[in-house]
């Protein structure tokens, strides 16, 4: 398998692996009896979203309002923007709703909820609000027992805006590397948001959406009673970070960076690539469990994993590969090409405006992506 | 100073600081008696290149052929592509030359030089070749005493291609944090490339270009006898990595990311921003000397540094700021804005397609940038 038509560095996507990963997660959602609302933060691609919808997904999650606009242009209306709303972004949200988006926005701030309620009353716009719950990740979100949770919902319900439900994300599921720990965190994630829903219902509020998810917990949760929807994103392509945590196998990773060998520094024992920090990202998420993987796992151009060969360091446009022995120079002469399995697919993909699709072992067109804000 | 017209996260560039940095480096080149060929890898902006040329720079350095095409479209013809050439990229280089670029390409590989010589003979294209020398950075380049250096130049001189000269980069100058160490590395950088030039001249070859540079060595070299040109890039805007090494002061950093506060996680003692790994990059170059800086130094919206307040961790779209004390919540309420001085300006800027220019304290338009390959 060679890709001489492509200039390097560039992004490859193996369609068969993507489809298998999509089906694996949809089967998990079906098994758990919840709706799947994939997070588009990894793929940011309308064609990928089409494949997700065809497999059974309903609606999408986005990480930027620009993504929301892109997907709306491609006919996807049911969109949850799962990053905290701020008042200055409300006009953009209103524009998306006016253009037909069924947009859900999110906050964990009483002050922001107050502004949303006031803006809704003034404009008549029925903003749909989710409240973020912290299930132990310590990123965004209110504690399930917090007083502010009730304050926010009261503010919204007394306005033209609508309270849609609650949402949490167990980002700390990325901090462990065995399935039994992931199962525990999945239960914690569920308990936090179910507890918050129960408190709100006891206070007399309807809670339509009870949403959670992360790739590890979504794949390994045992029971999601009380949950209405699952969100996850990186599972579509996986990466070496997920592999290091035991969440996927190396051969399930569907995305790679095609790179050229631009030099052999024999004095330093290195092969140099034209894929560096910009082409791969400087993410080192796999360090906790597999520090040797560095900035990516090397495969040959056909995609076969080269055990023990990694991008050991990067500068802006250079990837440095410490050779295993001098035979590696013959294996990868200057001008030859290889593939790199990324550490964190979401970060790596963001450097590219399209995927080169590989299907049945040959190039099969491009899928565009949206980046930026 | 507020920027309510701008959606966050977005990139700010303070023009007065940029111009002062440009003048500082031009003065250093003038003092050392060498031509300055700025590296456009940081700014990737035609408007910035115009400012550099106006200050005295002659020609530019690029890190991708896409950059070369962009600058050529903007009227800059004298371009050095300072990343190792591979045979598959020769057609793109030939196209640029056909479109009027005075393009210099580079290799350290005898095999690649052989292909360039053969392609030149076949096509009649006078590719101009620089040979890369390793001055101790252990990235690309041949040792000054290497046999391959003479082999490459002989191959090229016996072809339709032309040997332009030699080039090195003391990337290891980023590994120290005091001026006397930088001075030593600057001498090492000079000695390596002057030694290579001497060997080539002794063998009867003309060496037009003897090029070196990195921001630290270009600013602090004491003597560049034998050198014809200086290359550097990040000095245009500087960053916290350069600040951590003592190469610049914090108030010389001309680039920052404008970000909104999207939440307060009081249980976790955090302010959350809408600038995360994608908006800042995951570069941690400052860790060696100032690990506390994390992913960036926080300033208020007006640009005033907030001592002790840093982006302590990031996820894809979230920056986490550990508060100093609870007063920080009042200082930065949800919905307010602040600026982040980046760790590594080249990596951060790559997430954006333009700079928002600040001049005389107010927004003064946009400068576009080119990204990708």
Q: Three-state SS string across B78-100, please?
A: EEEECCCCCHHHHHHHHHHHHCC
Q: Which residues pair with A359 in a beta bridge?
A: A362
- For residue B140, the distance in angstroms to the closest alpha carbon of chain A comes to 6
Tell me how crowded residue B124 is: count the other CB atoms within 10 A of its CB: 8
Query: Integer distance in angstroms from the first to the last C-alpha of chain A?
Result: 36
Look up residue B176 and give its two tokens: 């120290």
Measured in degrees and rounded to the nearest 5, phi and psi for residue B7 equal -80, 145
What value, to the nearest 5°, has the Cα angle with vertex B172 and ends A330 and B134? 45
Q: Check residue A145 and give its pLDDT.
A: 97
d(CA B292, CA B268): 18
Pick from A105, A86, A107: which is nearest to B335 by CA?
A86
Residues of B in contact with A196 (CB under 8 A): none
Q: Which residues are CB-neighbours of A277 under 8 A, at least 6 positions away?
A: A295, A314, A315, A316, A317, B281, B283, B347
Q: Check residue A304 and give its pLDDT.
A: 97
Using the 8-state DSSP alphabet, how is residue B75 labeled?
A: T
Inter-chain residue contact B282 with A279, CB threshold 8 Å: no
- For residue A39, the distance in angstroms to the closest alpha carbon of chain B comes to 12
Q: Is A327 exposed, middle or buried (0-12, 13-18, 19+ CB in 10 A)?
A: exposed
Mean pLDDT of A183-200: 97
Q: Name the residue facing B41 among A316, A352, A372 (closest C-beta).
A: A316
Inter-chain residue contact A281 with B281, CB threshold 8 Å: yes
Tell whether omega for the bond before A63 is within 30 degrees of 0, i.e. cis: no
Q: Give the relative orientation of helices B15-32 and B46-55 as an angle to the nearest 10 degrees.
A: 40
Q: Check residue A4 and give its pLDDT.
A: 87
Query: Integer distance in angstroms from the first to the last C-alpha of chain B?
Result: 36
- For residue B365, the distance in angstroms to the closest alpha carbon of chain A comes to 18
Inter-chain residue contact A7 with B89, CB threshold 8 Å: yes
d(CA A170, CA A63): 16
Sign of CA dihedral A73, A77, A82, A87: positive
CA A244 to chain centre: 17
Inter-chain residue contact A316 with B134, CB threshold 8 Å: no
Instruction: For residue A348, name the pLDDT band (cuts at 50, 70, 90).
Output: very high
Residues of A in contact with B140 (CB under 8 A): 262-263, 265, 272, 318
Residues of A in contact with B318 (CB under 8 A): 83, 139-140
Interface-testing mutation among A278, A355, A370, with chain B (most B C-beta atoms within 10 A): A278
Q: Name the residue facing A272 among B89, B139, B270 (closest C-beta).
A: B139
Q: Name the residue facing A335 among B86, B108, B261 (closest C-beta).
A: B86
- For residue A224, the distance in angstroms to the closest alpha carbon of chain B comes to 25
Interface-testing mutation among A139, A145, A239, A350, with chain B (most B C-beta atoms within 10 A): A139
- B30 Ramachandran zone, left/alpha/beta (phi>0; psi -120 to 50): alpha
Tell me: the pLDDT tens digits for A299-325?
999 999 999 999 999 999 999 999 999
Q: Report the chain A residue with the minimal C-alpha distance to residue B351.
A: A372
CB pairs under 8 A between A and B: 184
Residues of A in contact with B267 (CB under 8 A): 134, 138, 143
Rounded percentage of chain A residues whose pLDDT exceeds 90: 97
Residues of A in contact with B139 (CB under 8 A): 265, 268, 270, 272, 315, 318, 320
Inter-chain residue contact A347 with B282, CB threshold 8 Å: yes
d(CA B212, CA B196): 12
- For residue A265, the distance in angstroms to the closest alpha carbon of chain B comes to 6
- For residue B27, the distance in angstroms to the closest alpha carbon of chain A comes to 26
- In this structure, are residues B167 and B209 in contact, taking their beta carbons and an 8 Å threshold? yes
- For residue A109, the distance in angstroms to the closest alpha carbon of chain B comes to 6
Pick from A125, A40, A60: which is nearest to A90 by CA?
A125
Sign of CA dihedral B286, B287, B293, B295: positive
Q: How many residues does chain A have?
A: 373
Pick from B259, B370, B357, B351: which is nearest to B12 by CA?
B357
Pick from A319, A321, A302, A318: which is nearest to A310 by CA?
A321
Q: How many residues does chain B have?
A: 373
Interface-testing mutation among B241, B264, B334, B347, with chain A (most A C-beta atoms within 10 A): B334
Assess whether pLDDT exceeds 90 at residue A2: no
Inter-chain residue contact A140 with B373, CB threshold 8 Å: no
Residues of B in contact with A265 (CB under 8 A): 108, 134, 138-141
Look up residue B299 and give its two tokens: 């300033």
Per-residue pLDDT of chain B (373 residues), as tens digits, is 788 889 999 999 999 999 999 999 999 999 999 999 999 999 999 999 999 999 999 999 999 999 999 999 999 999 999 999 999 999 999 999 999 999 999 999 999 999 999 999 999 999 999 999 999 999 999 999 999 999 999 999 999 999 999 999 999 999 898 999 999 999 999 999 999 999 999 999 999 999 999 999 999 999 999 999 999 999 999 999 999 999 999 999 999 999 999 999 999 999 999 999 999 999 999 999 999 999 999 999 999 999 999 999 999 999 999 999 999 999 999 999 999 999 999 999 999 999 999 999 999 999 999 999 9
The SS3 of residue A258 is strand
Pick from A146, A196, A193, A140: which is nearest to A171 by CA?
A140
Assess whether pLDDT exceeds 80 at residue A1: no
Q: Check residue A167 and give its pLDDT.
A: 98
Q: Name the residue facing A63 among B84, B260, B317 (closest C-beta).
A: B317
Tell me: the pLDDT tens digits for A208-254?
999 999 999 999 999 999 999 999 999 999 999 999 999 999 999 99
Interface predicted TM-score of the whole assembly (ipTM), two decimals: 0.96
Helix residue ranges, H only, chain B? 15-32, 46-55, 65-73, 90-98, 110-123, 147-157, 179-202, 215-220, 240-244, 277-280, 327-331, 345-349
Interface-testing mutation among B4, B12, B62, B140, with chain A (most A C-beta atoms within 10 A): B140
Q: Name the residue facing B317 among A83, A88, A281 (closest C-beta).
A: A83
Residues of B in contact with A88 (CB under 8 A): 4, 7-8, 260, 335
DSSP secondary structure of B274-340: S--HHHH-S--GGGGT-GGGBT-EEEETT--EEEEEEB-EE-SS-EEEE-SSTHHHHHS-TT-EEEE
Q: Report the chain B residue with the minimal C-alpha distance to residue A278.
A: B347
């Amino acid at each position: 398998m060679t890709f001489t038509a492509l200039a390097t560095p560039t992004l490859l996507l193996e369609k068969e692996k993507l489809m298998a990963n999509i089906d694996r997660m949809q089967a998990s959602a079906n098994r758990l009896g919840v709706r799947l609302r994939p997070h588009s933060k990894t793929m940011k691609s309308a064609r990928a979203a089409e494949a997700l919808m065809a497999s059974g997904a309903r609606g999408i999650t986005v990480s930027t309002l620009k993504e929301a606009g892109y997907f709306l242009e491609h006919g996807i209306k049911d969109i949850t923007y799962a990053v905290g709303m701020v008042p200055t972004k409300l006009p953009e949200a209103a524009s998306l709703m006016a253009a037909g988006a069924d947009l859900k926005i999110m906050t964990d701030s009483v002050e922001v909820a107050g502004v949303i309620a006031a803006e809704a009353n003034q404009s008549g716009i029925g903003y749909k609000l989710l409240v973020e719950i912290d299930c132990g990740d310590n990123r965004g979100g209110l504690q399930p027992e917090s007083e502010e949770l009730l304050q926010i919902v009261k503010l919204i319900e007394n306005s033209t805006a609508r309270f849609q439900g609650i949402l949490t994300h167990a980002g700390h599921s990325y901090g462990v590397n065995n399935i039994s720990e992931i199962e525990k965190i999945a239960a914690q994630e569920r308990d936090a948001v179910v507890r918050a829903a129960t408190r709100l219902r006891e206070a007399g509020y309807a809670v339509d959406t009870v949403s959670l998810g992360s790739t590890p917990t979504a794949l390994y949760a045992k029971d999601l009673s009380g949950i209405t929807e699952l969100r996850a994103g990186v599972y579509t392509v996986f990466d070496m970070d997920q592999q290091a945590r035991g969440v996927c196998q190396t051969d399930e990773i569907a995305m790679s960076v095609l790179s050229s060998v631009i030099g052999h520094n024999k004095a330093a024992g290195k092969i140099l690539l034209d894929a560096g920090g910009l082409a791969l990202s400087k993410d080192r998420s796999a360090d906790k469990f597999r520090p040797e993987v560095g900035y990516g796992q090397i495969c040959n151009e056909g995609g076969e994993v080269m055990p023990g060969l990694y991008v050991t360091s990067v500068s802006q446009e250079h990837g440095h590969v410490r050779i295993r022995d001098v035979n590696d120079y013959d294996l990868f002469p200057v001008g030859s090409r290889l593939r790199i399995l990324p550490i964190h697919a979401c970060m790596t993909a963001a450097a590219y405006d399209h995927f080169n699709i590989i299907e049945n072992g040959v190039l099969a067109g491009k899928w565009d992506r949206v980046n930026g804000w």
